[in-house]
């Protein structure tokens, strides 16, 4: 039988080894971390909280929960064109999970993603309560080079990375146990691949960027509103994986538009650099697709058209508290 563990032993046994040495002057074990900052860099900071039964199913394994929590946060670094460097973890869990088996799985999942992305755990907190995970990721960008949502201009080309609708299809699959399990979708849900390398390169080409967490419609609307422009996209251009089209043909387009949980990038590229951008994309073998174009706002401030039909700014997408 697993025995409960006290907070300090928990940190020492399962998390202290996740502190790397990259620019960390003081890591886990003190009242605060101290990190070394280069003079020509700025710090990008992003925080996300994942709550049991809201952001992951109650029967998810500890390792699945950990990988999803860190990957979701790293996606924000990709959208900002930042190199992720450090993260903090605030872990709240029921007392029955404060045992070696669960914590071992959780720390292994966290360590795997941290190693893949060369990020170091530098601190945090552990408390007893309903299961939730809050991660703050800190990354570096060159001064003045961070990607933001507010730089898009009329005539910019709208792109997305990867395939969309995977997150919603994966959640549907997890909720319907009688369906044949698609391992690709399960992996996409619990370990979405943050587009770090793409985001770093987009600094040289893109005018605006956002990660697709709440759904393409909702997140593209956020980008349009921040940039004070409108977008026109063609639904038939949106990349959807063939296995979703085949298995869920009646849902696939709507999931790609509004499903969320894809953690791909949506970004805009000025038409004048489109040729150079696509040459670079081919040289790096990135998977990106042009799906539309930006335009000036009309007098009604309609931010998004899909197949020449106006879409409400509140259409689709995940929102808390509603």
Least confident stretch, 178-182, 210-214, 253-257: 178-182
Average pLDDT over residues 289-305: 89
DSSP result, 157-207: EEEEES-SSHHHHHHHHHH-TTSPP-HHHHHHHHS----HHHHHHHTTT-S
User: Strand pairing of 120-128 and 83-93?
Assistant: parallel
Domain 7-142 has CATH 3.30.1330.10: yes
Q: How much is the mean pLDDT over the chain? A: 87
Identify how many contiguous H helices and E strands the chain contains and give both numbers.
10, 13
Residue 220: exposure state from Cβ atoms within 10 A (0-12, 13-18, ≥19):
buried
Report the share of the chain in percent with pLDDT over 90: 62
Confidence label for 175 from pLDDT (cuts 50, 70 and 90): confident
Q: In CATH, what is the architecture of 157-311?
A: Alpha-Beta Complex (3.90)
For CATH 3.90.650.10, list the domain ranges present in the chain: 157-311
Q: What pTM was estimated for this model as a whole?
A: 0.89
| 311 membership: H or E segment, kind and range | strand 309-311
Start and end residues for every CATH 3.30.1330.10 domain found in the chain: 7-142
pLDDT above 70 covers a percentage of the chain that reads 89
Which residue do the tokens 């995977």 mark?
A: 166
DSSP for residue 127: E
Q: Tokens at residue 56, please?
A: 């992951």
Question: CB neighbours of 97 closer than 8 A, spacing ≥ 6?
Answer: 62, 103, 131
For residue 27, what pLDDT is reported? 73
pLDDT of residue 320: 46
pLDDT mean over 165-194: 85
Strand partners, 265: 211
Mean pLDDT throughout 266-271? 98
Judge whether 131 and 74 are in contact, CB under 8 Å: no
Higher pLDDT among residues 55 and 312, named by residue: 55
Helix (H, G, I), strand (E, B) or coil at 290: strand
* pLDDT 10s digits, 60-117: 899 999 999 999 999 999 999 999 999 999 999 888 887 778 888 998 999 999 999 9
* Residues in CB range of 22: below 8 A, 6 or more apart: 85, 118, 120
Query: Bigger pLDDT: 213 or 20?
Result: 213
**Weakest mean pLDDT among 149-163, 201-215, 289-303:** 289-303
Long-range Cβ pairs for the range 2-11 (8 Å, 24+): 2/99, 2/100, 2/101, 2/102, 3/99, 3/100, 4/95, 4/98, 4/99, 5/98, 5/99, 5/100, 5/103, 7/126, 10/98, 10/103, 10/126, 11/126
Nearest to 265 by CA among 200, 195, 204, 188: 195
Separation CA 208–CA 265 (nearest Å): 10
């Amino acid at each position: 039988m697993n025995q409960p563990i006290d907070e300090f032993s928990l940190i020492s046994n399962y998390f202290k080894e996740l502190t790397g040495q990259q620019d960390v002057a003081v890591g886990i074990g003190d009242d605060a971390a101290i990190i070394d900052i280069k003079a020509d860099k700025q710090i990008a900071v992003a925080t996300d909280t994942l709550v049991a039964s809201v952001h992951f199913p109650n029967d998810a394994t500890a390792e699945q929960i950990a990988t999803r929590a860190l990957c979701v946060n790293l996606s924000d670094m990709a959208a900002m064109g930042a190199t992720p460097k450090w993260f903090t973890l605030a872990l709240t869990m029921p007392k029955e999970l404060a045992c070696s088996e669960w914590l071992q799985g959780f720390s292994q999942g966290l360590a795997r993603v941290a190693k893949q992305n060369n990020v170091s755990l530098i601190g945090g907190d552990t408390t007893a309560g309903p299961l939730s995970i809050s991660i703050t990721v800190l990354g570096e960008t060159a001064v003045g080079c961070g990607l933001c949502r507010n730089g898009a201009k009329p005539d910019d080309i709208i792109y997305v990375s990867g395939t969309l609708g995977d997150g919603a299809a994966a959640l549907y699959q997890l909720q319907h146990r009688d369906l044949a399990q698609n391992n690709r979708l399960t992996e996409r849900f619990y370990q979405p691949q943050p587009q770090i390398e793409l985001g770093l390169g987009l600094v040289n080409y893109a005018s605006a960027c956002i990660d697709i967490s709440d759904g393409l419609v909702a997140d593209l609307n956020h980008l349009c509103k921040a940039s004070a422009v409108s977008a026109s996209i063609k639904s038939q251009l949106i990349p959807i994986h063939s296995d979703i089209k085949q298995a869920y043909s009646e849902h696939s387009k709507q999931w790609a538009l509004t499903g969320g949980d894809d953690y791909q990038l949506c970004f805009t590229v000025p038409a004048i650099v489109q040729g150079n951008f696509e040459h670079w994309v081919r040289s790096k073998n990135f998977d990106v697709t042009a799906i539309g174009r930006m335009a000036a706002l009309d007098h009604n401030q309609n931010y998004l058209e899909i197949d020449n039909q106006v879409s409400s700014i509140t259409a689709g997408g995940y929102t808390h508290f509603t």
